[in-house]
Amino acid sequence: MVLCNGSSLNKKATFRVYLQEILSRPNATLYEVARANITSVSPTNFGQFLVGDDFVTTTPDPNSMRLGRSQGFVAFSDLDELAIALTFTFIFTDGPYRGSSLTIAGRKLVLGKNQEIPVVGGTGRFRLARGYTISNLVSSTPTSFTFVLAIDQIFQSDYDAPVSAGLMVAAEEHVAEMERRRFEERGLLLLAAMVERSERRWCKDVSLVGLGCAAVSRRRQD
């Protein structure tokens, strides 16, 4: 468990990456996995659900340095506009943010410009990140898209910030309370198991008595 001071959310990162999305097989990075029964007749592809694993590069050139991958899913979720609801995590495997990840989630117009998408969290250097991204389509072909994603105003928690004594005491009390509850639950489970075993023995004894009575009855009839 990590405790942090909310006032320490003051680190800012601003950078730009390019998302390479390929639609043609066998090297496609975006695949449809489900659709609604109205998707084929919907002017906005409503109900179509896709999963993607796109390359993240330093320039629009697909052969430029790869910083990592962007993995997630999109769903066409608007009956009137060509818009998607999306959740993607950028997994950085190279560059200054190697070993970290950043997650975005929100709504985006497919053909819109300067689309803002919220940053909802991250790991590594982006733990507890918050902020937003701005995305634009740079180029496209019948089989691929290249998006520029400008990531701006990313704030993350400073984990080295001092924690107040009050927070530490509250944390210790919380842990103690959780341990007490687990102990009580364990005791109740043991009691339930004992009752169940007793009931099984009682049922077995009743069955044996019943069999004995039946045997005595047959002997009397004989």
Question: Residues 43, 111: one domain?
Answer: yes
User: For residue 27, what is the DSSP state?
Assistant: S
The domain that holds 29 is classified in CATH as 2.40.480.10
Domain count across the chain:
2
Instruction: Please write the tens of the pLDDT for every residue from 67-122.
Output: 999 999 999 999 999 999 999 999 999 998 899 999 999 999 988 888 899 999 99
Question: Residues 45, 112: one domain?
Answer: yes
* The pLDDT of residue 195: 57
Contacts for 48 with CB less than 8 Å, ≥ 6 apart: 32, 34, 35, 36, 39, 75, 76
* The pLDDT of residue 117: 92
Query: Does pLDDT of 213 surpass 60?
Result: no
Q: What share of the chain is helix, strand, coil (3-state, %, to 5)?
A: 30, 40, 30
Contacts for 157 with CB less than 8 Å, ≥ 6 apart: 4, 8, 9, 127, 128
Question: Residues 126, 213: one domain?
Answer: no
Question: Residues 110, 49: one domain?
Answer: yes
Is residue 74 within 8 Å of 50, Cβ to Cβ? yes
Calculate mean pLDDT across residues 43-65: 94
pTM over 0.85: no
Is residue 150 within 8 Å of 121, Cβ to Cβ? no
* The pLDDT of residue 198: 61
Q: Is 49 helix (H, G, I), strand (E, B) or coil?
A: strand
Any bridge partners for residue 13, and if so which?
154
Domain termination site, one of 156, 190, 209: 156
Question: Residues 142, 209: one domain?
Answer: no
Highest mean pLDDT among 7-11, 43-47, 172-176, 203-207: 43-47
Other C-beta atoms within 10 Å of 191: how many?
10
| Domain of residue 22, residue span | 8-156
* The pLDDT of residue 1: 29
Task: Output b/e per residue, 102-119; b: 16+ Cβ within 10 A.
Answer: bbbebebebeeeebebeb
Question: Residues 129, 184: one domain?
Answer: no
Domain termination site, one of 156, 186, 208: 156
Question: Residues 103, 150: one domain?
Answer: yes
Question: Residues 152, 58: one domain?
Answer: yes
